[in-house]
Chain A
Amino acid sequence: MTQVKDLTDPSRRKFVGASVGVTGAMLIGPGIFLHQVAQAKPDAEAVTDKVRWGMLVDTNKCATGCDDCVNACAKENGWANEKGPDEVKVQWMRKVDLKEKSTGREASLPVMCQHCEKPPCVDVCPTGASFKREDGIVLVDKHICIGCRYCMMACPYKARSFVHSPVENHDDYMPRGMGVVESCTFCVHLVDKDKSPACVTSCKEKALLFGDLNNKNSEIAIRVAKENSRQIRQDLKTNPGVRYQGI
């Protein structure tokens, strides 16, 4: 994660601190205020587009049947405890097993929000609740999401989930609520503290690499420059921040 640390622009923190302070003053659910987070250290500056956070998934290392990354995501962000049948359950991240029809070759890989440069979910959101930060992270502002699900219709990656039942025991840093849409945040709360997303740190095979695609000296930028990698639904030209190797 050295490249993450080196490149972190401390200015982002002030912005995050300020924006969390403002939103913290708003009621996000019955009786829930973000007081604790509102007092986070206000020493950061604005997020800038000098950084483009991205992830490289090496499917050659990603083991079929292993879902450590998915479990780590669920634990970190507090999802997967919803009631009801599987069809309605929230999945910010999932493992997809592939078998090439013509050759029979198999692969396994995680799919989550691809943090597109041109995200269809952001285009279609009527209220602007779906938004992209300057550093490329695509998020849902849960204060202004009205739960129309148009973003879910528009997402080419099936990356978003609608919360169908009441949510209990969510963490202050990841407020959740029934009736709104959620998806992978690249663990923005960790990234803003110079840490890697939970899925990346949980992967024993080191199949996931997180970093700044804009910094030519970062490991991820060096690898995508030298090694072959592709994006899912490259034809749509949404330019996802997540790239895959070995498929």
Chain B
Amino acid sequence: MKRIIYEEIEGKSRAFIKLAAALLGLIVIALSAAYYMEHNGHIVTGMNNQIVWGIPHVFAIFLIVAASGALNVASISSVFGKTAYKPLAPLSGLVAIALLMGGLSILVLDLGRPDRLIVAMTHYNFSSIFAWNMIFYNGFIAIVIVYLWMLMEGRFNKYSRQVGIAAFIWRLMLTTATGSIFGFLVAREAYDAAIMAPMFIVLSFSIGLAIFLLVLYAAYQWTERPIGMATIKRLKNLLGVFVAAVMFLVAIFHLTNLYAAEHESVEHFMLSGSGYAFIFWVFQIGLGSILPLIYFYHPNFKDDVRFMLRGAGLVLLGGFSQVYVIVIGGQAYPLELFPGYEVTSSFYDGEIASYIPSFPEILLGIGGIAIAGFIVLFAVKLLKFLPTSLADEDVDPHYRHKN
């Protein structure tokens, strides 16, 4: 194994400028959409007084959960001492910060009063999971920046393990708190489950790693730097384990609910009686979990990099669908105020709520992804995040020359 040399990317090619311009364009469009929503009110969105959190929240939660998961590669290197992951650690931290910033931007721009962000920063109600999250999110960015500094500044390398452990613990708390946004909602039948927190943690492992794998591969392909199959395969195999773990927790969540008569109705809604059931079975489970596992482990596909990348993309589709089903589906199912009664009212009591995302909301969500992409793109141009080579002989401690 050689000494790893990190270098900025050149960032002068036509493709780089095109990508930067495209991301910037998406960000400008998203900001315009947010201004349009802020100016006219949420009446221009698909959200209403029944579905109060819409597609922006799906994007935001997806990105925030993915952010903590993207840090895992660095944690495996610093906390668990796996040298094969060490060259990837700086990029892992960078992607984590970028995803979190993208997600938070969406969340803030979707507020009814985004102009009151300063209020949110100066008034804390410590019994609110949201208030805790604001501390976790900001703290995460701060800790990961320090962690990157320790990793990238030779003199401080010796501290990277300690800071890495702190970042790892912090990220676990962050995702626990994000899952608990829903886990603590006793009012709604689709939520109110302690398993939400570990489910979000494992979901973060899978979607964070899938994003990392795709970003890593794209960065090396586009800069024409060498990247070895051992690195990609190692990440792919780990991703498969995470995908299976998410499926396990999802199965336990639903089986537990199905066992209780009180949850029969909501389970029927989520698993068979609605469009959300379709999204669940087809996108979350079929395309987003089972198909990637086939791609990752079936002998016909498991060594083909194209299927590894497709698999990672499908994991993202599955994760996004999962967050959509939880956030939107969970709200669409009516609150049960009067068990044993049929109810009707002018406020849609007892009715399945409908929600169709509007264009501005979707554009705002895509803008969050663009913000994350833009941060990564410019950071790798400005600072030494990427090793010049990830070829197997350079980074793989188990590499043996094949004669």
Contact = CB atoms under 8 A, between A and B. Distances in A.
Interface of A: 83-91, 94-102, 111, 120, 122-129, 144-150, 152-158, 161-166, 178-181, 232-233, 236, 247
A contact face: mostly helix, strand, loop, or mixed: loop
A178 B42 CA distance: 9
B260 interface: no
A63 B124 CA distance: 44
Interface stretch (B151-159, B289-297, B346-354): B346-354
A158 B43 contact: no
Contacts of A94: 345-347, 349
B19 to A, nearest CB: 33
A150 B116 CA distance: 16
Contact of A97 (B47, B131, B343): B343
28 contacts: A87-B348, A88-B43, A89-B49, A96-B343, A97-B345, A98-B342, A101-B340, A122-B125, A122-B127, A125-B128, A125-B130, A126-B128, A126-B130, A127-B119, A127-B123, A127-B131, A128-B123, A144-B123, A146-B111, A149-B53, A150-B128, A153-B185, A153-B331, A158-B337, A179-B38, A179-B111, A179-B113, A236-B186
Interface string B24-49: 00000000000000101111000111
A100 B342 CA distance: 6
A126 B209 CA distance: 30
A246 to B, nearest CB: 12
Nearest to A150: B130
B337 A232 contact: yes
B129 interface: yes
Given A88-B49, A163-B112, A164-B48, A158 B338 contact: no
Nearest to B120: A146
B contact face: mostly helix, strand, loop, or mixed: loop
Contacts of B131: 126-127
Closest 9 CB pairs of A and B: A147-B112, A179-B112, A156-B187, A126-B130, A87-B48, A127-B123, A128-B125, A164-B43, A149-B52
A178 B112 contact: yes
Interface extent on B, as a size class?
Answer: 35 or more
Contacts of A145: 112-113, 116
B274 interface: no
Contacts of A152: 49, 52
Contact of B49 (A150, A156, A157, A162): A162
B117 interface: yes
B48 A100 contact: no
A245 to B, nearest CB: 14
B403 interface: no
A129 B344 CA distance: 31
Interface in B173-208: 181, 184-188
Given A88-B49, A148-B130, A164-B42, 10 more contacts: A94-B346, A96-B345, A100-B342, A101-B340, A120-B185, A124-B127, A124-B185, A144-B119, A146-B119, A147-B112
A147 B187 contact: no
B277 interface: no
Most chain A Cβ neighbours within 10 Å, of B127, B184, B341: B341
B215 to A, nearest CB: 30
Given A97-B345, A102-B340, A124 B111 contact: no
A238 B337 CA distance: 13
Contact of A165 (B40, B53, B111, B116): B40
A149 B331 CA distance: 12
B134 interface: yes
B116 A146 contact: yes
A128 B53 CA distance: 20
Contacts of B347: 91, 94, 96, 158
